[in-house]
Structure 1
Amino acid sequence: MNGTTTFPDAHDGSPWEELVTVALLGTDRRPVPRLAAGQEAPVALLDAAAVETVRRRAGLRPAQAAPRPAPAAEDTRPPLPRAAARRLAMLLADRPGTGGGRRGTAPDLMELLPQWLAMANAHGFAAPPEALPALLDAARGRTDLRPAALTFAGPRALWLARLNPDWRFALRAAPGGGTEAPDHQDTERVRRLWQEGLFAERVALLSAIRAREPAAARELLDTTWTTERAEDRLMFLDSLRSGLGAADEPFLERALTDRSRNVRATAAELLSALPGSALAARMADRAASCVALDHTRAVPAIVVEPPHECDADMERDGVVAKAPSGRGERSWWLGQLVEAAPLGSWSRRFGGRTPEEIVALPVADDWQGELHAAWCRAAVRQRDGGWSRALLGVPSLPEAAGPGAVSLAERAKLLATLGAHERAEWVAGFIATHGLSEAFQLLGVCAVPWSPALGRAVVDALNIARDAGSYPWSFSGVMGLAERCLDPSEAERLNALTATPEEAEDASPGSGGYWAEAFQRLVTTLRLRAAMREELASP
């Protein structure tokens, strides 16, 4: 044998399989082959495995090397400051559930990663190459991270994504699959890509041109419109939302006769967002025939007579004839007509009254909810701040709802049409009156960081909840938002809340300690956010 160690055959005659079997069963239950006298069995097993590994590798035949991939495109952005790079590594190393049980006072680092990425992108920094794998893994698991993460990762992320199937989402998320769209003035390249490119590339091309030259994008779409598949026409049509204007009306009017019902509905929705369009005028006439002001009453009131049928012209203009289950047909048709009618037409219809005065009018025969809900949808679609204010009403109303907003979701959508300062003031007033039980959805539409007034309202409401003796996890959603959205400068003011208060007799057992822990975590998180901001701002 020339000194070569041999092993008895295992199941397939492989010495390696025999060694694996010994390792799995243990050296106490299975003897190590060719164990030398005085040698410890575990050490002998490892020595034999090392020898067998070298022998197996030596038996491989060399193959022709694969071609070396082209280098990644250069990232010319400035590198991260060292402190910020260390912070990024800490944020990426945190994983949900690694701590187990209660969080205690430790900040949730993964929830701070989106904010860190937004700040890093605002400064225009490039991602450290060594952080890219962990960054791509984090974005793979959380779709909400992908836009900011891929912007920060830059061209190297796309280069890596072409080499690792686990990161292919980066290619799908990048415009044109990571390829650069041609300039809209390069007509030959644009034509070739539009006619021969993949669907994702064509969508990216259309969106890019639409952002720079809305008319050129619409004309490009018109060249192949009749030959596109219905699902593709719908996606292409959706790209016209960006930069939507009166010049798009003729194209959208033609789309009202499309073979696809979804395409027709989208075209009608876009046209109704143009208050000066012919469709909007037709809808205004139809809605006016259903909604009128009755002056014969002691107090003028709105009377409603919904449509008796949904004719072909209404369907052409986007009215869906079949009502959802549990919904009356006539009220369903009425809502669609009012939703698509220009809001400015109601002031003319009701004698020059303002939106606030119109919303305050009584509505006969229990039609108020249906009518006001349709006006809410119209205000959101037409981005009409005046009507949104009227429908939201005063935040301190005792019924915790405006005169027209019938749900938290609708109120949140109406708030989104207002400026950031006005949104924050309204939500602060709502919280001051009604507390936090219904505020979570409304807080989600407020700009970050929260304004001082909104931050004070949230903290005061949390303090009131603590004094009432409830547990903090009843407000975990709001507390999580506060950690991410309160201005970091609020940390010092919150220090007084981190002490464990004396518990009232009617308080939930241990609630004071849990609240102190929650506020300690909040303060710690705010200080961490302040440190993140300073690290990114340092030279």
Structure 2
Amino acid sequence: MSRTTTPAATPKAAAPAASVPWEELVTSALLGTDRRPPEDLSGAGPDGTAAALLDAAALHTVRRRAGLLPAAASPRPAVAPDDPRPPLPEAARGRLAQLLADRAAGSGGRRGTAPDLTELIPQWLAAANLHGYRAPDSALPALLDAARARTDLRPQTLEFAGPRGLWLAGLNPEWKFALRGASGSALLPSPDDAEAVRRLWEEGLFAERIALLGTVRAHDAEAARALLATTWKTERAEDRLMFVDSLRTGLSADDEEFLEQALADRSRNVRATAAELLSALPGSALARRMADRALSCVSPGLTGDEPFVAVEAPHECDEAMQRDGVAPLPPSGRGERSWWLGQLVEAAPLSVWPARFGGRGAAEIVGLPVADGWGEELHAAWCRAAVRQRDAGWARALLGPPSTPPSNAPGTASLAERAKLLAVLPPAERAVWVADFVAAHGLSEAFQLLGVCPVPWAPPLGRAVVDALDIARDAGSYPWSFSGVMGLAERCLDPAEAARLEVLTTTPAEPADASPGANGYWTEAFQRLVSTLRLRATMDSELSGSPMG
């Protein structure tokens, strides 16, 4: 007896579903099956049609995936470069993992007496780089993520990550920022390979091109300027600005010709940056032009018996001044003439003023009275000039003695501007000046000044800060007002000070007029300070490979 085989039943919707084009299904899904039902799936009511559309889409998806041809394999990345630096000691490797894990977990909320590990990452990186260690390969992704989130970590992170970190950054678009600091890395061609340099300059990403320019400039400044000139006229304005600004590093008189040409650039920002760089070259033609203009505005007073400074601010901002970087329109609230005067004096070489004022030195000139209320504007411009030209003598004169209250300072009362002046002084002198300032005025106005002092703080500065904090506590001062300074102390005090500060971790009797709970907060803060200093000492010993006894 023969057997008859019956074909398997096919779902009723399969054939119609397969016949509906994919594009029609997408259109119906976007417009809605009630407005645009697929022709072969209609007639089942709104709900039935919607279900049939989804079934048809599922069928099409399976067919499309099944018929997909494999793509050609991408070329493998180049082999990661070698890093000959020594590996981290095991204890330091574990500490790095702890610091990075704490960063990823976040550190919001009140810390109590526990150190803030995220704030110790920069110091740990600086110490690891000082010892010349290489980063563990397994830590590179977390390090690059940390540097992506915090720009202040980038220079130290990229140094620590080394050539392998830059190689890895080239494989992930989220880490492209690392290429901006890749000067001299294995990712860039040798400056001597002219063809490879030209090709990357013409075809590379902007981050790669800015890094390449820095590498070539460090090797041969003239070649870097020539490279920049080859594409200058076709670059975007924002890129031209960045390229000009990159000339700050290694700025010299040889850059003058290029920067003079940039004064005629069609971008106002490019012109202003070129003028700023030229004014930082006291021997440049622009500096001489600005000196002539400034000397015509500021002169010794010619009346009376006592010497003074006479000022006649410009009455117009002509085209020549604008070409040399003088912005014609003042900010809101500033007068035109004072705005123009400040820019002229700021750009003039400070070396022209002693001859103008009969051989007087910077301190004597700054001490002269200024007629007609121009003193604040003139001194502020001299402050900016001292910072731009890195003139320690003028910075010292404009800061005045640290015992002088900021409101009576010879240069400017602005603490931000005074911090910039301090940064011009040698590190040791800077620390002593700020220590004397804290001893004279306390900490309420010292935060910005402390931020420019070299770390770890010199012993006189560290003692001055701790003594001022202790005085503030004894006076019943509001403790939260000093949290910023306390955070700086945790990161900047010498770890060797921990034992001396132990006495501050006890809770003294609370003054009657103190804020409620203030003494408890102060005690907690000092306990955190001491525990942080001890942790920093431990970190240093782990990196040196000689555990503390």
Q: Aligned pair in 2 of structure 1 residues 63, 512: CA closer, same or farther (>3 Å)? A: farther
**In structure 1, which of residues 342, 357, 361 is the aligned counterpart of residue 364 of structure 2?**
357
Q: How many residues align?
A: 480
Using the TM superposition, give the Cα deviation of residue 313 of structure 1 relative to its aligned residue in structure 2, in angstroms.
Answer: 1.1
The aligned residue for residue 527 of structure 1 is 534
Asked if 1:403 corresponds to 2:410, the answer is yes
Counterpart Cα distance in 1 of 2:364 and 2:256: 32
Tell whether the 8 Å contact from 2:107 to 2:118 is kept in structure 1 after alignment. no
Alignment of 1:307-386 (within 5 A): 307-386=314-393
**In structure 2, which of residues 73, 93, 114 is the aligned counterpart of residue 106 of structure 1?**
114
Counterpart Cα distance in 1 of 2:102 and 2:82: 29
Counterpart Cα distance in 2 of 1:243 and 1:420: 21
Tell whether the 8 Å contact from 1:471 to 1:514 is kept in structure 2 after alignment. no
**Which deviates more from structure 2 when the two are superposed, residues 473-482 or residues 215-224?**
215-224
Alignment of 1:239-318 (within 5 A): 239-318=246-325
Tell whether the 8 Å contact from 1:369 to 1:406 is kept in structure 2 after alignment. no
Tell whether the 8 Å contact from 2:169 to 2:179 is kept in structure 1 after alignment. no
Using the TM superposition, give the Cα deviation of residue 345 of structure 1 relative to its aligned residue in structure 2, in angstroms.
Answer: 0.2
Q: Aligned pair in 2 of structure 1 residues 258, 117: CA closer, same or farther (>3 Å)? A: same
Instruction: Tell me the secondary structure at the aligned position of residue 447 of structure 1.
Output: coil
Tell whether the 8 Å contact from 2:180 to 2:210 is kept in structure 1 after alignment. no
**In structure 2, which of residues 150, 163, 181 is the aligned counterpart of residue 142 of structure 1?**
150
Instruction: Tell me the secondary structure at the aligned position of residue 168 of structure 1.
Output: helix
1:298-326 alpha-carbon deviations (Å, 9 max, x no partner): 31111111011111111111111111111
Tell whether the 8 Å contact from 2:166 to 2:187 is kept in structure 1 after alignment. no
The aligned residue for residue 9 of structure 1 is none
Q: Aligned pair in 2 of structure 1 residues 519, 186: CA closer, same or farther (>3 Å)? A: same
Using the TM superposition, give the Cα deviation of residue 456 of structure 1 relative to its aligned residue in structure 2, in angstroms.
Answer: 0.6
The aligned residue for residue 182 of structure 2 is 175
**In structure 2, which of residues 77, 84, 99 is the aligned counterpart of residue 91 of structure 1?**
99
Counterpart Cα distance in 1 of 2:207 and 2:141: 25
Alignment of 1:483-498 (within 5 A): 483-498=490-505
Tell whether the 8 Å contact from 1:158 to 1:170 is kept in structure 2 after alignment. no
**Which deviates more from structure 2 when the two are superposed, residues 294-303 or residues 348-357?**
294-303
Using the TM superposition, give the Cα deviation of residue 145 of structure 1 relative to its aligned residue in structure 2, in angstroms.
Answer: 1.8
Alignment of 1:227-238 (within 5 A): 227-238=234-245
Counterpart Cα distance in 2 of 1:280 and 1:335: 14
Using the TM superposition, give the Cα deviation of residue 530 of structure 1 relative to its aligned residue in structure 2, in angstroms.
Answer: 0.6
Using the TM superposition, give the Cα deviation of residue 507 of structure 1 relative to its aligned residue in structure 2, in angstroms.
Answer: 1.9
Asked if 1:117 corresponds to 2:116, the answer is no
CA RMSD for the aligned pairs? 2.4
1:111 is matched by which residue type in structure 2? Answer: E
1:263-289 alpha-carbon deviations (Å, 9 max, x no partner): 211111111111111111111111111
Using the TM superposition, give the Cα deviation of residue 141 of structure 1 relative to its aligned residue in structure 2, in angstroms.
Answer: 2.5
1:410-468 alpha-carbon deviations (Å, 9 max, x no partner): 00110111111011111111111111001111111111100001101100100000101
Q: Aligned pair in 2 of structure 1 residues 415, 500: CA closer, same or farther (>3 Å)? A: same
**In structure 2, which of residues 141, 162, 174 is the aligned counterpart of residue 154 of structure 1?**
162
- Unpaired stretches in structure 2, ≥5 consecutive residues: 1-64
The aligned residue for residue 80 of structure 1 is 88
**Which deviates more from structure 2 when the two are superposed, residues 394-403 or residues 425-434?**
394-403
Instruction: Tell me the secondary structure at the aligned position of residue 94 of structure 1.
Output: helix
**Which deviates more from structure 2 when the two are superposed, residues 139-148 or residues 479-488?**
139-148
Tell whether the 8 Å contact from 1:488 to 1:526 is kept in structure 2 after alignment. yes
Using the TM superposition, give the Cα deviation of residue 76 of structure 1 relative to its aligned residue in structure 2, in angstroms.
Answer: 2.4
The aligned residue for residue 23 of structure 1 is none
Instruction: Tell me the secondary structure at the aligned position of residue 118 of structure 1.
Output: helix
**In structure 1, which of residues 382, 390, 404 is the aligned counterpart of residue 397 of structure 2?**
390
Instruction: Tell me the secondary structure at the aligned position of residue 309 of structure 2.
Output: strand
Instruction: Tell me the secondary structure at the aligned position of residue 154 of structure 1.
Output: helix
- Aligned sequence identity (%): 70
The aligned residue for residue 128 of structure 1 is 136
Q: Aligned pair in 2 of structure 1 residues 77, 401: CA closer, same or farther (>3 Å)? A: farther
TM-score normalised by L of structure 1: 0.84
The aligned residue for residue 42 of structure 1 is none
The aligned residue for residue 4 of structure 1 is none
Counterpart Cα distance in 1 of 2:200 and 2:170: 21
Tell whether the 8 Å contact from 1:96 to 1:110 is kept in structure 2 after alignment. no
Tell whether the 8 Å contact from 2:183 to 2:211 is kept in structure 1 after alignment. yes
- Unpaired stretches in structure 1, ≥5 consecutive residues: 1-58
Counterpart Cα distance in 2 of 1:196 and 1:98: 40
